[in-house]
């Protein structure tokens, strides 16, 4: 399975599990987003727009927590820029995970979801 397919599964699970975000008819909600949607473009223009080489694939915002998630296949390796980004994020006290499957993603998210987070299916 490709990295993009794992990521799509994770996004789908997240949206099916948690209530809608604020502004989407649900009040306070959890947020998941792709910070570098144009990361494959390395031109100076995109760098001035804030695209950062090595940035995690996903950022998940839960009540009181921010998680940085890098998607990899089971054999995939982080680039030096991704390792530098991870070190920077962790030095600031945030959680960073390299996730290789939907099951691992579910584990990481539910591990950090607080009692005030309400999955849609409860």
- Asked if residue 119 is part of any domain, the answer here is no
Whether the full predicted model's pTM is greater than 0.85, yes or no, is no
Give the SS3 label for residue 86.
helix
State the residue range of the domain holding 23: 3-112
- Asked if residue 40 is part of any domain, the answer here is yes
CA distance 70 to 3: 10
- Asked if residue 37 is part of any domain, the answer here is yes
Summarised one tens digit per residue, pLDDT across range 11-69 is: 999 988 886 555 554 445 678 777 765 545 556 666 665 667 788 999 998 888 899 99
- Asked if residue 83 is part of any domain, the answer here is yes
- Asked if residue 118 is part of any domain, the answer here is no
Q: Is residue 118 within 8 Å of 19, Cβ to Cβ?
A: yes
CATH number at residue 90: 3.40.1350.10
Strand pairing of 31-33 and 95-99? unpaired
pLDDT above 90 for 101: yes
Q: What is the pLDDT of residue 29?
A: 64
CA distance 100 to 51: 24
CA distance 117 to 119: 6
Paired tokens of 110:
């539910």
- Asked if residue 120 is part of any domain, the answer here is no
- Asked if residue 117 is part of any domain, the answer here is no
Q: Which residue has the tokens 């950090």?
A: 112
Q: Is residue 68 within 8 Å of 59, Cβ to Cβ?
A: yes
Q: How many domains does the chain have?
A: 1
- Asked if residue 108 is part of any domain, the answer here is yes
Angle between helices 3-17 and 102-112 (to 10 degrees): 40
């Amino acid at each position: 399975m490709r990295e993009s397919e794992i990521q799509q599964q994770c996004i789908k699970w997240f949206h099916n599990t948690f209530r809608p975000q604020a502004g989407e008819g649900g009040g306070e909600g959890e947020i998941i987003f792709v910070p570098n949607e144009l990361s494959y473009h390395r031109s100076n223009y995109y760098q001035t727009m804030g695209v950062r080489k090595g940035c995690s694939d996903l950022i998940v915002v839960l009540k009181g927590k921010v998680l940085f998630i890098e998607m990899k296949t089971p054999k995939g390796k982080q680039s030096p820029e991704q390792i530098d980004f991870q070190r920077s994020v962790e030095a600031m006290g945030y959680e960073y995970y390299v996730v290789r499957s939907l099951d691992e993603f579910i584990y990481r998210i539910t591990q950090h979801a607080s009692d005030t987070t309400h999955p849609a299916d409860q």
